[in-house]
A and B are shown apart, each in its own frame.
Chain A
């Protein structure tokens, strides 16, 4: 059963804490992406990775960090430097690292700061 999984589904964070969101895919895709979705706004790109051990900042990378040690995994850490982290976070992957290639999305993680 191929696809993208994200965990946890819901995450609560206290002010000043770092939290890590998991994203795993078994589609054998080279490229992976992290987006943030806020009400009334389109998906905004946080980070993307075109290949293992390489990643690039997106439009809103400040306060976030990622790693890509394995092809299947692209975890996102929301650091205490992110001032407004409450949002719905979506991970996606595509077969090739090109914008014309279809991106497949995971089910998302809803992060709430208490």
Chain B
């Protein structure tokens, strides 16, 4: 079983829809959670960074962490064609020996 599971998609939604992207994980030591956006043939860029459980909002993006369920989500409101990309979740335990574990990514397409 992978430490981090992410549905690869592809996910296709119409412009303006609310998008929900999710990851599950198995390691209860993970405390720091990230979402990266990766456009085709480009490197990933950090979108959201959260610590422990709770919600964090930044513009049209909301990151949600539920540590009791080992489940994290990224919501995109008023989705735009420019949001079409692959979204990678990532997480780490935060200790000096920790590494960042990445999900495999969900490919998202926003239809105009």
Contact = CB atoms under 8 A, between A and B. Distances in A.
Chain A, interface size: which category? 20 to 34
Given A42-B4, A105-B43, A107-B43, A99 B104 contact: no
Contacts of A92: 43
A80 to B, nearest CB: 26
B32 A99 contact: yes
A104 B101 CA distance: 15
Chain B, interface size: which category? 20 to 34
A110 B99 contact: no
Interface in B38-97: 41-46, 49, 88, 92-96
20 contacts: A4-B43, A40-B8, A42-B4, A43-B88, A43-B102, A45-B99, A59-B99, A99-B92, A99-B94, A99-B98, A99-B99, A100-B94, A100-B98, A102-B49, A104-B46, A105-B36, A105-B43, A107-B42, A107-B43, A108-B42
A6 B77 CA distance: 33
Interface string A22-65: 00000000000000000011110100000000000011000000
Interface of A: 4, 6, 40-43, 45, 58-59, 90, 92, 98-100, 102-108, 110
B71 to A, nearest CB: 17
A110 B43 CA distance: 11
A106 B105 CA distance: 18
A40 B104 contact: yes
A42 B44 contact: no
